[in-house]
Amino acid sequence: MPDTVSPSSGRTLYVDLSSGESRVLDTSPHAADYLGGRGLAARLAWDLLPPGVGALDEANHLFLAPGALVGTPAPSAGRTMISGLSPQAHPHEWYTRSSLGGHWGAALRYAGYDGLVVTGRATGPVVLSIENDAVSLRDASHLWGLGLVETQRRLAGELPEGTRVLAIGPAGENRCRYAVIATGTESAAGQGGFGAVMGAKRLKAIAVRGTGGVPVARPQEALGRSREVVRGILAIYGRGGGSAEPTATRPASRRAPCTHGCPRNCGGFYADVPGQVHPERTYTGHLHCCSPILADPKGWLGTGYGFRAGFEIAQVCNDLGINHWEIVFGLVPWVLRLQARGEAQSLGGLSLDLADPANLLALLEAIAHREGVGDILAEGLPRAAAALGLGEDIVGTLYPAYGQASHWDGHGAFPTPYYPYWLVTALQWALDSRDPLGGGHGYTTNIFRLVGRLEPRAGDPDTRRRLLEVGQRLYGSPDAVDPLSGPAGKGLPGVYHQDRNALKDCLGVCDNIFPMLTDHTAPDFLCTVAGVPGPHLEQYVYEPLCASPLDREALARVGTRVFTLERLLAVRNWGRSRADDEGIMPYLAHPEGTVSPYLGHPVGLDEAAFRRLLDECYTLRGWDPATGRPTPATLAGLGLGDLAG
């Protein structure tokens, strides 16, 4: 039966590819405590992932769970979490998650399911087809080897109209450790390498068509509140997106959202763009997330690609099913830094002169098909550099932890934000199981960008007073946002955003919009929509969906519970401890990449101060500072006491 405290069907589909059998799990008991998305997946993983299983093993489980708000009127709520044991994760193939947008998650909800769990391994390539209660495996031999675009095109001709498809490309089929699962031309679960998990299971695609709906307690109120929040989103963030008119170097584009129900349209969609390397071909698709860097000759590490070359590389990456982030912030910076010191002009017979985009395309094809040196590079740079005995020290400057390249940590190939703001994102990195900024831009979006907008007025005492009040009101300390405060107060936003990130992933809302905490145009710099303070907007749109919704405090505790449960799983299965958290410190010891205009000089890592910040985070969480593990009392307080043993 649906749970009255969550817009949930209480049903999760479980499919065993080895036997071809499927059944429905009753997950309604988890709805109130975990909502959906990341929370539901973590709770199922606790039950279904014992220690000792590898990411590419037949016994591994892949968890696909739309957020609890997906398929409802809630704005920008179209995200689906894809979780499981990660082939990309290093040095442990441990449990983590990724997410994607598009319309697939809403289709699964409309088919009557809160989630999908896939285990086993098919005897040959298959498509998992779900149409409401009808679940079947279709032969996919004719699709194996095709790119993501052609796979979806062919399935569109074979399946009923309105079917939504997740698929993998050749990179996933060949178990590239950073292969993506994607839908449409751009929405992809990038980090984690879960495309390789589908490839290992011989699962080419998952096709879903649903003709039902998601239960909503008070539809008109839900729609009204959602419209109010949409107006607030557009007022604060605008619509974003690509250019409406062509320029001398870039063709016309139209704005396009990356996910179901999003009003912002922050991606640019381009059609029929001739290739630079292959002018006889045309490419159609999005530029979004980090992919615009590929097409910006001023923005990508000196390769100097024009729009056509960069767009071609981006679309080839998408079609092969390769994670853009690994290429843009890992592989290419590694190659360029090797060459800057006179090493590796070629590798395994492939030219590494990346000034010619044809050489990068050849490298991507080799990786996706695991041909020659591409077989080694498909392992991901932390493993590949060790195997090659080449540039391991450079990898240490580009990869903070967990086999994933830098992201909003003040270092690496993406050297923002500046000190002291990267201390907060470094804490997020330290306690997570992956790049945390895939769902954790909350601090950088709300605080770092606000501070950047205030730089011209930094000397104004009234501006500074209002900025410090933001820190006090949001986090309980003015030091949490003060550009001159150093490490003081940074543990508070570190923990706050870890929990809010988990809550967002349970609800399925857009990370680049929520939480809506600040508004640089407001007199107090704080966001308010329809009289509702920004920190409570998720609860505002969630409340009318449920007959007896969770209150603000209970909803916020869901994020804390889920983050803690994931930690508990890491402790049980991999012995996670504080020593793992401190593993990011050698990376942070490299010089920061951007200097604060408020300080005027670079600031390095103070190891003792960072350890004290970790102490602060553990204490705020009720974890043992010596081990970094949740205490029995904390677990009991979060309703996890039965898992403590």
Structure tokens belonging to residue 540: 């505002």
Same domain, 510 and 443: yes
The answer on pLDDT for 535 being more than 50 is yes
Cα dihedral: 222, 226, 229, 230 (round 10): -170
Q: Report CA 555 to chain centroid distance, whole Å.
A: 21
- pLDDT tier for residue 94 given thresholds of 50, 70 and 90: very high
Max CA pair span of the chain: 69
Which parts of 168-213 are beta strand (E)? 181-183, 187-189, 203-209
Q: Are 42 and 565 in contact (CB under 8 A)?
A: yes
Its pTM surpasses 0.75: yes
Supply the pLDDT for residue 242: 46
Report percent pLDDT > 70 for the chain. Answer: 97
pLDDT value of residue 230: 94
Is the pLDDT confidence value at 500 over 70?
yes
Which tens digit of pLDDT belongs to each residue from 407-440?
Answer: 999 999 988 999 999 999 999 999 999 999 988 8
Residue 241 pLDDT > 70? no
Among the candidates 209, 225, 251, a domain finishes at 209
In a domain, 299, yes or no: yes
Question: Residue 310 corresponds to which tokens in the numbers above?
Answer: 């960069």
Q: Nearest to residue 428, comparing CAs of 502, 538, 324?
A: 502
The parent domain of residue 429 ranges over: 421-530+575-643
Query: What does the pLDDT look like over 587-635, one tens digit per residue?
Result: 999 999 999 999 999 999 999 999 999 999 999 999 999 999 999 999 9
Burial class (CB in 10 A: 0-12, 13-18, 19+), 5: middle
* 202-211, 237-246, 303-312, 571-580: least confident range: 237-246
Q: Which of 415, 451, 106, 425 is nearest to 257 (CA)?
A: 106
Q: What is the mean pLDDT of residues 578-589?
A: 98
* Percent of the chain whose pLDDT exceeds 90: 82
- 234-240 mean pLDDT: 79
Which of 188, 209, 230 represents a domain boundary (last residue)? 209
The pLDDT of residue 466 is above 50: yes
Q: What is the pLDDT of residue 239?
A: 61
Residue 467's φ and ψ, nearest 5 degrees, are -65, -45
Q: Which of 291-305, 342-356, 469-483 has the lowest mean pLDDT?
A: 291-305
| CATH number of 261's domain | 1.10.569.10
Residue type, 140: A
279 and 427 share a domain? no
> Are residue 480 and residue 378 in the same domain, yes or no?
no
Q: Is 137 within 8 Å of 129 (Cβ atoms)? A: yes
Residue 621 sits in the same domain as residue 524 = yes
C-alpha dihedral, 46 to 48 to 52 to 53, nearest 10°: -130
Angle between helix 37-48 and 552-574 (nearest 10): 30
Do 381 and 429 lie in one domain? The reply is no
Residues 276 and 191 in one domain: no
Same domain (yes/no): 317, 430: no
Q: Mean of the per-residue pLDDT values for the chain?
A: 93
What average pLDDT does range 197-210 have in this prediction?
A: 98
Is pLDDT above 90 for 516? yes
pLDDT value at residue 1: 46
The verdict on residue 214 lying in a domain is no
- Is the pLDDT at 267 greater than 90? The verdict is no
426 and 327 part of one domain: no
Q: Any idea what the CATH number is for the domain that residue 59 is in?
A: 3.60.9.10
